[in-house]
Structures are given as structure tokens and as C-alpha cells.
Structure 1
Amino acid sequence: MTWLHYVIVTAVACIVTMALVPSVKKLAFVVDAVDYPNARRVNKQPTARFGGVAMFGGLAAGLAAIWIGTQFFGWNYPLHSPVSRNIWYPGVMIGVVLIFLVGVADDIFDLRPRTKLLGQIAAAGIVAASGLLLSDMHNPVGPGYIDFGIFAYPITIFYLVAFMNVINLIDGLDGLASGITAISALTMFIFATLTFRLDAAFLAVGLIGICLGFLRYNFNPASIFMGDSGSLLLGMSLGIVSLFATTRSALFVSLLVPILVAGVPIIDTASAIIRRMRAHQPIQQADNGHIHHQLLREGFSQRKTVLIMWGWTAILAVSAIFITETHGVMRLAFMALAFGISAFFVVRLHLLGPVLRHHYAPRPATGQKRAAEEFNKAVDNAAASDKAADEADPDRSDTRR
């Protein structure tokens, strides 16, 4: 397999995605898959949230390019490997199609969270039943592997559902989710080529292509949003790529690769869950406490916020590759780098501050509570002033979520 083959698949996925976006915009208004301006959103005009349809078309085109290459141009068949012999690939594709349809339905009909979660579990279950399982891992303290047995199925389902939701929740700024997914997919591509996992490598470059193509229209100021049809598709596909790339790896640390490359959305999701539980709110209820909200409050524009989070993801991605390819002091150094940069953002943005006060400090007295409420009201007033400034300067536009 040559680099030209990977470039062709990336280009096909990218070009088809870009070509489909204008038509998808029109379709979104026909089926009312549209984000209308309101108190929570800052888009000044109705914006299509159906970008996942174009991304799905681009991914399908990339897979078609692989099939054409293997059938007519002598490309190596990417599904022939010792790891993939027990995987029913049509079943994996059915799972991807199902989660895409769940996202489409949510974009149009605004599904209840429980219904959407059931769809995610069903799609992940189909993938697991097709043989793509997190079935074992290399024993970190001895020879051989640790076999998960029957527990491999719920572990895999949880793993894929988690990937879908971390990408879904990070999709809060123009270009943020697609950029993070592209960086993560590039990292998985590098790891897959180092370990000769052709199935993972080809799917990874397809993901890179659709993300780059969509960024043409989704980077600030976005003319289209990816919607749940896009975020769920990206999350499921990235989870599948990571399973293809790390299944039965010879190294225990290889399992750190997908965790690190998705580290930013994982941290964001974990802090959101803790924050909402503390506030006695439903976990699925949207709020304005995400990492990108905190960066915006620090005074960064939307574009700078996205670039900062892309950079953070890139640092974790580079660290992940070097952790698997180095040993001893160098491996520990890159682990420390990944932990240190993440700890810096967590502390600097006070992501865990409310949780620590909740668990280790007494509840405020009535007067203190009233003062806190007045302070929060002042913060809200400041946010309103920022919104007025955003209207005067579009480059400072806030997130729609």
C-alpha cells in the first residue's frame, strides 16, 4: 500500500463532502433541520444543522474509492489481516449507518435523550456483535493477555457510546468537533500504519477527508453546523478506528492512544457530568460551563478558542504516539507532558473548582449564598455585555451551545 492510495481516499472524501454541503443546506431548510436564533444561540440567522449528511456522503465515497482501488487498480485488500479475520465488516457498516440515521432523526425531530441513547446502544451493539470487540488487553504485569470474556460486549458498547457522546458534547464552537476529530484520526492513522492495521488506516484517512471538507464551511463564521447526524457519525467512526488500530496490540500502553487523542473531549465531558450532577440537573441538559465557554470568558475570540483546543489536542496526540514508540525516561517524559498540559487547563479554567468546594467545604451561610447569587447575576450581566460586543464584532462570536 502506497501513500498515494491514502491521499486519493482523503481527497475523494474531502471533495465529495464539500460538493454536497450546498445541497445539504437547502435540504436542511426543507426538512426544518435548522438552528434558529434564540436566547441560548448566538447565530444571527437561521443556520442548517444537517452537515452530517454531507459528511456521510463523503465517507461513503471514500470507502467506494477503496473498493474501486482494490478491484480495478491492484490495491492491497485492507481487510486481510490476522486481527480482522473474525470481524463481519458489513455489520460494522450497518452500525455506522444506524447511528447516522439516529442523528438525522434527532436533527429533524429533536429526539428525547433516552431515545437517542437507546439508538446509540443499538448501533454500538451491532458493531460489537459483528466481532469488533475490545475483547482483551496485554497483561501489564506479566506475559500474555487478559481476556474479558463475555464482558467484552458491554465494555465495547460502553466504549463506543462514550466516543459518540464526547464528540457530541464538544461540538459547541464552529469547527471545534471536526478539527479535533481530524487531529485524532490523523493520530490513529499514524499509529495504524506503524502497526500495519490497514483497515484502521483507510477509515482514518476517510475521516480526515470529511472533516477537512466540512471545515471549509464550518470554520468560524460557519454557514452550516454538523448537527447530531455529524457528531454521532464522527464519534462512532473514531471509536471504530481506535478499536481497529489497538485490538490485540502487543503493548498495554497502546490502549492509551485513543484515550489521549480524545483527551480534550473526555475531560470536557467528565467535568460536565460532575458539574450537572452537583447542580442536580439531568446529565444531558445543556449548560455554559464547557471548556470552550471558559476560554471565551477569559476573553479569547471564538477562533482563538478553537485554535487553543486544537493545539491542546495536538499535544496530547503527539504525546500518545511517542508514549507507544519510546521507553523508559522518554516515555515517562511524554506521559508527564500530556498530564501536565491537561492539568494546567483544568486548574487554569477552574473546571473542578465547584466540585472541590462541594465535597470538601461547608455549604455557604444564607448571607454568603445571597452574595454568591448577586455575583452570578453580575456575571450574567457581563455576559450580556459581551453578547452586545459580539454583535458589533462577529470575530468574537460566542458558541451556539
Structure 2
Amino acid sequence: MESLKALAAQFGIADLFGRGFLSVLLTFLTAWVFTWRFIPPVREFAIKVGWADMPNARRLNKEPLANAGGLAIFAGFLVSVVVAWALRPIVIEQVNIQVLAILLGAAVLVLVGFIDDQYELSPAFRLLVQALAAVLLIVNGLRIDFNAIPFLPVLPHAVNAPLSVLLTILWIVGLTNAMNLLDGVDGVVGGVAFVACMVLLVTAAQFTDRAAAVVLLAGLAGAALGYLRHNFNPSRIIMGDAGSNLFGYTLAAVSLLGTLKVSAGASLLVPLLVMALPILDTTQVVIGRMARGIRNPLGHPDKTHIHHRVLARTSSARRTAVILWLVALVCGVIGMLAQGVPLPAIVGTVVAVLLCLWFVAHRRVRALGREAAARAPGQSG
């Protein structure tokens, strides 16, 4: 028993059978099951009312594909957070207003993303809303302190304050759009977001002042996994901008939640490495488009993304998703090593992530096999 407790401590679990750990586990399972079960009725309703992406030259779908998955993901995430809040397993009163600010900002971006999915809002308007959502976090105490970033000079307050605000806005808006631009092949963003959530969750669990971040990440990870069950190729529903905005914004915001002031800059190292895939993808796409003379790189979609390049080589959406999941996981391991997370916790995280991803992908493939058998002549339903 003592060895089991010692192993749990490597994961940042103070009491393996305590209310805190069990409530985090319940938060994860609530989000997973709720999102998984909620998506089918959402998909059916979305198709009925026309919330769907129509086939075109850029999209892989051959028939209308429901694009309201982001609403189901947000619902699952929100329900799990309510469950966690009701249990109150940990003292998070000090950051309650910050948690509410994250949820409010996420809700606004989910709404704007959903409207954009249906009516195509202008890039300038989307950027404005994202910047305002970032400001919402700043005024509630969630910000990057430039003077807390290691190896950089300490600046006077008159310079540090506006620079910190600018860095925070760039961080939030940048990651929000990075996740959005990565969403082009079935299963990629859902899997990458799940990997990022799990890595950041285990990393945050190593610090006593980041308990609220652990709860939010558990809920977001569960919602991502529940969605992925329906999105592994061929997908039955996509998350749209509503879902990618939710993942990008929430992951960026949670990385600032509950951190000590002296570590607020250094704490960005892990999410920066974990999110290296979408960040590098966005960087190379924007630079490439600007080099071609495109003035508005966010408003001119093309097929120069990493997932498009991998898809061209593999000719398989499934293999493309799995490859990018593994790349994200490798980035996550590097981030955990840089943060000094114990090796048993890193190994356990990798095993847990791989098992969860295999489980949902395997269940999706099995379901497709049963559907094909049911449609075959001479087969019973």
C-alpha cells in the first residue's frame, strides 16, 4: 500500500483514495460520457436544421457533415465543471473569479465560432472578439508577467505592464487561432487537444497552487475524448470553429491559472512545448501566405498545413491523425521533462493517453464494421 501511495505521489496525487483525486476522476468521466452520449442527438438536430458543412474542393466530406460538435463539447465540459464545483474537493475559492472568467470567455468564443461556422464572419471581427476575450482574463488577474520570464532582463513597471498585456493577448489569440488552423482532417484536433490536456493536467498536479487548473483540464480532456469517439475518420460530426476556439482558448487560459507570480512566466514552458505542433503549423502557414503576397493570411485558406502535407503522403485520414497524435505526445513528453515531472508520471501519462486514444479509435472502427455488415445484403440489422 505504501508503494502504491508513493507511486501516486509521483503523479501529484496526495491521497489516492481521497475526495480530491476521485472528484477529478469523476469530472473526467462525466465530461467523457456526457459528450459521447450527447453528440448523436446534436448531430441529428444539426443535420435537420442545416448546421452542416457542404462538400467543396477543400473539404474531405462527400455529403453534408454536421458542424455543431463544438456545442456538444462545450456542454460536456461545462457539465463536468459544474459537477466538480458542486463536490468542492479542493480549495479553489481564491481563483473562482478567474475560473468564471475563463468559462465566460470560452462561452463567447464558442458562440462566435458557431455563428462563423454558419455565416462566415470576417477574420477582423473574429480577431477582435478573441482579443476582448483575452482582455477579460487580464482584468481578472490572468496575465503573463514579462519580468517573470527566465533569462530575460527585468524591465521597469512602466514598460513591463503594457508589454505583459500585449504578450498575454498574443498568447491567447495565437493559441486560439493555432488550434483553429490545425482543424482540417478528421480526428486531428480532438486527439491533439486530448494529449495536451492530459500532459498539462499531470504537470499541473505537481503544484499545489494549480488545483483548479487540474479540474478544468480533466473536464476538457474528457470532452475531447467523448467527441473523438464520433470524429475518428470517417467522422459523423465535426467541431467547427466553435470547438477549436474552445480548445485553443481554454488551454491558453488554463496555463495562466493558479500560478505563483514568480513562476507565471516559466509556467508557459510546458504549454509552449505541448502546443508546438499547432504553433509551428500556424507559423509556417502565415509566413508562407505572406510570402505569396497575401495580406490577410488568416482569411485565405489553402492546403499548406502540416495535416494536409501528411495526408498527401499517407493518403489516409486515420494514419494522418494517428501520426499527429504521436507528434503531439512527443512534444508533451519533452515539455514534461523540461518541467521536471517525475519519470514514472511521464511514463504513466504516455500509457494512459495511448490507451484512451486506442480505445476510442478501436470502438469507432468496430462501429463502422457493424454498420457495414448491417447494410450488406442478406444481413440482419
Q: How does the TM-score come out when normalised to structure 1?
A: 0.74
**Is 2:286 aligned against 1:286?**
no
Alignment-derived partner of residue 269 in structure 1: 282
Which runs of 5 or more residues in structure 2 are unaligned?
A: 1-18, 344-381
Match of 2:219 in 1: 206
Q: Structure 1 residues 143 and 232, CA, compared in 2 at 3 Å: closer, same or farther?
A: closer
Alpha carbons 2:146, 2:163 under 8 Å: kept? no
Q: Establish whether residue 168 from structure 1 lines up as the match of residue 180 from structure 2.
A: yes
CA contact (8 A) 2:206 2:341 kept: no
Find the counterpart in structure 2 of residue 133 from structure 1: 143
Q: CA RMSD in A?
A: 2.6
**Residue number in structure 1 paired with 2:91:** 77
Q: Does 1:21 align with 2:39?
A: yes
The corresponding residue for 1:32 is 50
Between the aligned partners of 1:239 and 1:217, the Cα distance in structure 2 is 25
Task: Note if contact 1:170-1:265 (Cα within 8 Å) is conserved in structure 2.
Answer: yes
Matched positions, count? 322
| Per-residue Cα deviation, 1:351-395 (whole angstroms, up to 9, x for no partner) | xxxxxxxxxxxxxxxxxxxxxxxxxxxxxxxxxxxxxxxxxxxxx
Shift of 1:300: 4.5
Q: Quickly say closer, same or farther: Cα 1:128–1:273, change in 2 above 3 A.
A: same
Residue of structure 2 aligned with 1:325, choices 337, 340, 343: 340
Shift of 1:322: 0.9
Cα pair distance change 1:305/1:246, threshold 3 Å:
farther
Correspondence for 1:5 among 9, 20, 23:
23
Answer yes or no: is the 8 Å Cα contact 2:149–2:266 preserved in 1: no
Aligned position for 1:358: none
> Aligned partners of 1:293, 1:326: CA distance in 2, in Å?
33
Counterpart position of 2:192: 180
The residue that corresponds to 2:247 in the other structure is: 234
- Secondary structure of the structure 1 residue equivalent to 2:256: helix
Deviations 1:168-218 (A, max 9, x none): 000111110011111111111111111121011111111100000000101
State how far apart, in whole Å, the 2-side matches of 1:31 and 1:130 are.
Answer: 38
Q: Distance in 2 between matches of 1:205 and 1:169?
A: 24
CA distance, structure 1, for counterparts of residue 121 and residue 253 of structure 2: 24
| Contact 2:177/2:248 (8 A) holds in 1 | yes
Tell me which of the two structures has the higher relative contact order, counting C-alpha pairs closer than 8 angstroms and 6 or more residues apart.
Answer: 2
Is residue 9–residue 66 contact of structure 1 (8 Å, CA) maintained in 2? Answer: yes
Rg (Cα) greater in structure: 1
Counterpart of 2:361? none
Work out the CA distance in 1 between the residues paired with 2:282 and 2:99. 30
Aligned runs of 1:59-208 on 2, under 5 Å?
59-70=77-88, 75-80=89-94, 84=95, 88-138=98-148, 140-141=150-151, 148-196=160-208, 197-208=210-221
Q: Percent identity?
A: 33
Comparing 56-65 and 237-246, the one that deviates more? 237-246
- The structure-2 alpha-carbon separation of the partners of 1:141 and 1:171, relative to structure 1 and needing over 3 Å to count, comes to closer
Matched, 1:316 2:316: no
* Cα distance change on mapping 1:217 and 1:139 into 2, 3 Å: closer
Q: Secondary structure at the match of 2:255?
A: helix
Q: Cα–Cα, structure 1 residues 23 and 270, in superposed 2: closer, same or farther, change >3 Å? A: same
1:151 partner amino acid = L
Q: Distance in 2 between matches of 1:261 and 1:219?
A: 22
**Does the CA-based 8 Å contact 1:134-1:155 persist in structure 2?**
yes
The runs of at least 4 consecutive aligned structure 1 residues that moved more than 4 Å come to 141-147
Is the Cα–Cα contact under 8 Å of residues 196 and 332 in structure 2 kept in the other structure?
A: yes
- Quick one: which amino acid aligns to residue 194 of structure 1? Q
CA pair 78-111 structure 1, distance change in 2 beyond 3 A:
same
Q: Which letter maps to 1:58?
A: G
Candidates 196, 219, 228, aligned match of 1:215: 228
Cα distance in 1 for residues equivalent to 2:49 and 2:119 = 9
Give me the whole-angstrom Cα distance separating, in 1, the residues matched to 2:213 and 2:341. 22
How far apart in 2 are the matches of 1:143 and 1:109?
Answer: 46
In the alignment, what sits opposite 2:268? 255
Judge conservation of contact 2:255–2:267 (CA < 8 Å) in 1: no
Letter matched to residue 305 of structure 1: T
Residue aligning to 1:243: 256
TM-score norm. by structure 2 comes to 0.78
Change (3 A) 1:295 1:205: same
> Which region of structure 1 is more displaced relative to structure 2, 144-153 or 188-197?
144-153
Query: Which of 64, 80, 85 is 1:46 aligned to?
Result: 64
